[in-house]
Amino acid sequence: MDFPCSKGFQHNCYSPPLPSVSTGYHRRVIPHRVSPGPKPSQFRRPSAAGVNGRAFVRSSAPQSEDQHPEQQSSLQRGVAEDPWLARTLSSFASLQSSQPSPWLQQLRDSCQQALQTQRMPTTRNEAFRFTDVSPILKSSFQMSTGTDAVSSSQVASHPLPDADGARIVLVNGQFAQHLSDTSQIPEGVFLGEVSDAPEEIASNLGQQARVRGGPFALVNGATAQQVLCLHVPEGTCLDVPVHILHLSTGASGDVSLSSPRTLIKLGPKAMATVVEEFSSPDASAHYFANAVGEIELGQGASLTHR
């Protein structure tokens, strides 16, 4: 039903609700005016670059150079979005002193860049559906450094008779040369730090972990202080097993965190046996050895890893 209105006045047309039985009333439909919205030229096109499927929009307005640091994104500040990762990387940055080798620095930079948009896994992630890492993420970690806290008598308590003369000791992920014995390693076989390794070996650092590693492998690469390399050339057979002893020391009040890393490369038809052991000289110590090992075998090579 329409209600008359006087000229020059505006009124609202009311449509009563339709009853269950028709009584002759009609519902009047008033069309709504739809705003055309912004013109297509006003839309900003997202950039092609994105992280984890998210595209970033470039603003046409220039940013102020004196922008407050808290207003900058985590990518601009170089800080990880995940709180646990941010604390861990901050703890590692505070203890960096000596300049690492170019290969190790390249590994650190690439892993730290990848961690800026990473999130630590939960049981909702398929790969960690049956692995709860929440106790690790709730712990307060302190990066462990130095090899002086371990004595030769403590190393002797981890004997491997078959590996006499081929024992490498890593304390908190760092090569302890005064505790190691490589007298039985034959000439031509390289066993030492990545900084002293030939380019053909060091250039393989990080290639396997980038493809198959997860967030913990990235944490290792971002915080590794040294890398132990073993290279057995083509056709060489190691008669003695190589014993790699990883020892972790505790931290007062916190859980110590270390990032041991090994790189093993065997040439074609080479043979070797490697035994890795993880322990601590202090039975009451609380530590987290976030270890990563990369292995590359040539055609016909054989490696026994225990």
Average pLDDT of 87-111?
79
pLDDT score recorded for residue 94: 65
Please, are residues 223 and 85 in contact by the beta-carbon 8 Å criterion? no
Is the pLDDT at 84 greater than 90, yes or no?
no
Query: CB-based contacts of 100: which residues, under 8 Å, 6+ apart?
Result: 108, 195, 225
pLDDT, tens only, 14-25: 344 444 444 444
Is the pLDDT at 99 greater than 80, yes or no?
no
Is the pLDDT at 77 greater than 60, yes or no?
no
Q: How confident is the model at residue 70 (pLDDT cuts 50, 70, 90)?
A: very low
Average pLDDT of 138-147?
79
Average pLDDT of 38-54?
43
Average pLDDT of 34-47?
47
Q: In whole angstroms, what is the distance from residue 169 CA to residue 155 CA?
A: 8
Q: How confident is the model at residue 202 (pLDDT cuts 50, 70, 90)?
A: confident
Q: In whole angstroms, what is the distance from residue 104 CA to residue 268 CA?
A: 26
Phi–psi pair at 271, nearest 5 degrees: -135, 140
Higher pLDDT, 22 or 194: 194
pLDDT score recorded for residue 246: 94
Average pLDDT of 216-239?
92
pLDDT, tens only, 86-97: 888 887 876 655
Domain segments of the chain as ranges: 103-305
Pick from 28-37, 46-55, 235-244, 263-272: least confident:
46-55
Average pLDDT of 98-117?
84
**pTM to 2 decimals?**
0.70
Pick from 95-99, 211-215, 253-257: least confident:
95-99
Q: In whole angstroms, what is the distance from residue 171 CA to residue 145 CA?
A: 8
The region that residue 256 occupies, defined by phi over 0 for left and psi between -120 and 50 for alpha, beta otherwise, is: beta
pLDDT score recorded for residue 231: 95
Q: How many CB atoms lie within 10 A of CB 76?
A: 12
The tokens describing 284, both together, are 């009451």
